[in-house]
Structure 1
Amino acid sequence: MVRLPLSPAEVERGQRLGALLRRARGERSMLTVALDAGVSPETLRKIESGRIATPSFPTIAAIAHCLGLSLDAVWTEIEQPERPSAPARKRLAS
């Protein structure tokens, strides 16, 4: 099976997902969360680092459940594009 390259939007969404999961994990170890979610620590590491930008729904659901995140909250967070910084907003408005 040949996998098509990810679009820039998919890559950004994967990075936002990884950042959200890292924040939600807090001080918990990656190993503990991964084992609780039933995924390998390597898979969780790749998702958190953005290397797996489009993980499967069951994987995200299991990790979100372990971290106490609703899937609605995850979706809302990853679908919102990063807001530009103040100087960038100024340039966009000009």
Structure 2
Amino acid sequence: MVRVPLTNEERERGERLGLALRDARASASRSMVEVAAEAGISVETLRKIETGRIPTPAFFTVAAIADAVGLPLDALRAATEGGAEEVAEAS
């Protein structure tokens, strides 16, 4: 299966997603190991998502991470659309 290259907008959205998840993890005072274990993913996968190296992770992976850090999906959606500053306002 051939994968269509991501657009710049999709890459930037992935970076905002990672930043929002990383900020929520830091606000919850949770380590990467704790969050990854609770979400059922590897620490390396979490690291790649948080740094934007996986800009389009699976929905259930994102939902599991958000749940592990106490971030409502609505707040996460707002952050990926408008920027990380909206995470604090929406949560």
Shorter-chain TM-score: what band?
0.7 to 0.9
1:88 equivalent in structure 2 = none
Please give the root-mean-square deviation of Cα atoms over the aligned residues, in Å: 1.3
Per the TM alignment, residue 16 of structure 1 is displaced from its structure 2 partner at its CA by: 0.4
Amino acid at match of 1:18: G
When normalised by structure 1's length, the TM-score is 0.82
Cα pair distance change 1:35/1:8, threshold 3 Å: same
Counterparts of 1:61-72 in structure 2, within 5 Å, are 61-72=63-74
1: CA distance between counterparts of 2:21 and 2:46? 9
Counterparts of 1:5-84 in structure 2, within 5 Å, are 5-26=5-26, 27-80=29-82
1: CA distance between counterparts of 2:44 and 2:80? 21
Per the TM alignment, residue 69 of structure 1 is displaced from its structure 2 partner at its CA by: 0.7
Per the TM alignment, residue 51 of structure 1 is displaced from its structure 2 partner at its CA by: 0.4
When normalised by structure 2's length, the TM-score is 0.84
Per the TM alignment, residue 81 of structure 1 is displaced from its structure 2 partner at its CA by: 5.3
Give the SS at the match of 1:24.
Answer: helix
1: CA distance between counterparts of 2:74 and 2:57? 16
Please tell me whether Structure 1 or Structure 2 has the larger radius of gyration of its CA atoms.
1
Name structure 1 gaps, 5 residues minimum: 83-94
Q: Deviations over 1:51-70 (max 9, x none)?
A: 00000100000000011011
Give the SS at the match of 2:35.
Answer: helix
Amino acid at match of 1:80: G
Paired residues, number: 82
Query: Between the two proteins, what is the percent identity of the paired residues?
Result: 59
Deviating beyond 3 angstroms after TM superposition, the runs of 4 or more aligned structure 1 residues are: none
Name structure 2 gaps, 5 residues minimum: 85-91
